[in-house]
Amino acid sequence: MSKPEAVLAMQPDLPQRLFSPAALDRLQTVASVDPDVVVSELSTAEARACLARAEIILSGWGCPPIDAAILESAPALRAIVHAGGGVKGHVTPACWERGILVSTAARANVGPVAEYTLAMILLANKAAHRMARTYADRRVAVDLLTEFPTVGNYRKTVGIIGASRIGSRVIELLRPFDLDVLVSDPYLDGAAANRLGVELRELDDLMAESDVVSIHAPALPSTRHMLDARRLALLRDGAVLINTARGSLVDQDALVAELATGRIDAVIDVTEPEVLPPDSPLYELPNVVLTPHIAGALGVEVRRLGDSAIDEIERYAAGEPFAHPVAVADLERIA
C-alpha cells in the first residue's frame, strides 16, 4: 500500500521544535514526506511543485492561507493536519467547499494551558504574588495573618467562563481541592454542569460570586469585550481575574481602570495588542502578573502537538477517521 504524500507548511524552524528524531522517523513510516523541505510561502515554484503531489498538508504556525488559488496547485490534496490549535488563519472557505478533511492538535495544547491556569488559581487564592511584592518592597518581616486574613484555598469560589476543552480540563484539575467551582457557558445546561461537578451560573452572577475568575471562552465577534466595565465592576473586592484565552475578550481600557484602583488583581497572559506598547500601565501595576503568552505549549511541550499531528496522519493512512476533526459547523464556537 502506497503512503500518502505530505508536505510541511509552517515556519522554517518549526519542524525541529515540533518533532523529535524518533517522531520524524515515525512520520516517514506513514507518509511520504521530506522533513528538510518546509514551505512557508505557498505561491513559490518550489511550493507549487510540492503541492502538485501532496495529499496532506501538515501545517503549523506560520502556514499562509490555503485559498482557492493555492488549491488549484494542489489537485491531490485531501487533508490538512494542523500541528497547532486554531485553523481559521489558514483553512479558508475554499478548503471547506472542496470537502478537504481538517484536523487540529488543539486538544494537545489543553494540558499546558490548564496547568498554568491551575497554578495561577491556587497562587491567586493564596495572594502569593501580592505577598511577594509586599515583601520585596518592605524587605522586613510582614505580619501575614494580620495583613492577609482571608487568603487561602479553603472554600474559595472559582468561576470558569467557558466549558471549552481547556475550561473543562481546568475544572477537572480543580476537583481535588476544597474549592467551590462555578461555570458560565451559553452552550452548557444544568445537566451538563452537574456531570462536570460544577454549578451553572449566568455570567453576571458568576462575576459577582467568584473569588477568582478564569476565562476560557473563544474569541468570536459575539464575545469581543464580553468583560466590559460593567461586568468588571461586578467583581468583589480582592477578586482575581485570569485571562489565558484571548485579549479581545476583555475591554482592556476598562480593566486597566479597574486595576488602577487596586480593588482587584489580575493574571494576564494575553493582551490586545498581543505585545503591549512600552507605556502600558499593565507592565507596572503592582496588582498585575503579566506574562508574554506563555500558558500554551512551549519548549518540550510543543512536541506534544507534533506527536498529535502524526497520530492523525497514521489514522488517515490507515483509512480511519481523524480523532480530532474540525468541521465547518464548529467554526462559530472555536477560536
Spatial CA neighbour of 18 closest among 59, 47, 46: 59
Same domain assignment for residues 285 and 230: yes
β-sheet bridge partners, residue 239: none
In a domain, 166, yes or no: yes
Residue 1: predicted pLDDT:
58
In a domain, 32, yes or no: yes
pLDDT 10s digits, 31-66: 999 999 999 999 899 899 999 999 999 999 999 999
For residues 150 and 115, give the distance between their C-alpha atoms in angstroms, rounded to a whole number. Answer: 25
C-alpha cell at 319: 483509512
* Structural domain count of the chain: 2
From residue 83, how far is each of 80, 133, 243 by CA, in Å? Answer: 10, 39, 24
Same domain assignment for residues 17 and 162: no
3-state secondary structure (DSSP) of residue 288: strand
Residue 332: predicted pLDDT:
73
pTM, rounded to two decimals: 0.91
Amino acid 93 reads P
The dihedral through the CA atoms of 247, 249, 251, 257 has a sign that is negative
Same domain assignment for residues 184 and 246: yes
In a domain, 223, yes or no: yes
| Percent of the chain residues topping a pLDDT of 70 | 99
C-alpha cell at 126: 493564596
| Percent of the chain residues topping a pLDDT of 90 | 94
For residues 227 and 232, give the distance between their C-alpha atoms in angstroms, rounded to a whole number. Answer: 6
CB 193 within 8 A of CB 200: yes
Band (193; pLDDT cuts 50, 70, 90): very high
In a domain, 237, yes or no: yes
Residue 329: predicted pLDDT:
82
Residue range of the domain that includes 232 = 110-290
Residue 86: predicted pLDDT:
87
Residue 258: predicted pLDDT:
98
Does pLDDT of 335 surpass 70? no
pLDDT 10s digits, 73-90: 999 999 999 999 889 999
Band (2; pLDDT cuts 50, 70, 90): confident
Catalytic residue numbers? 246, 274, 293
Same domain assignment for residues 132 and 280: yes
Residue 288: predicted pLDDT:
98
For residues 94 and 144, give the distance between their C-alpha atoms in angstroms, rounded to a whole number. Answer: 60
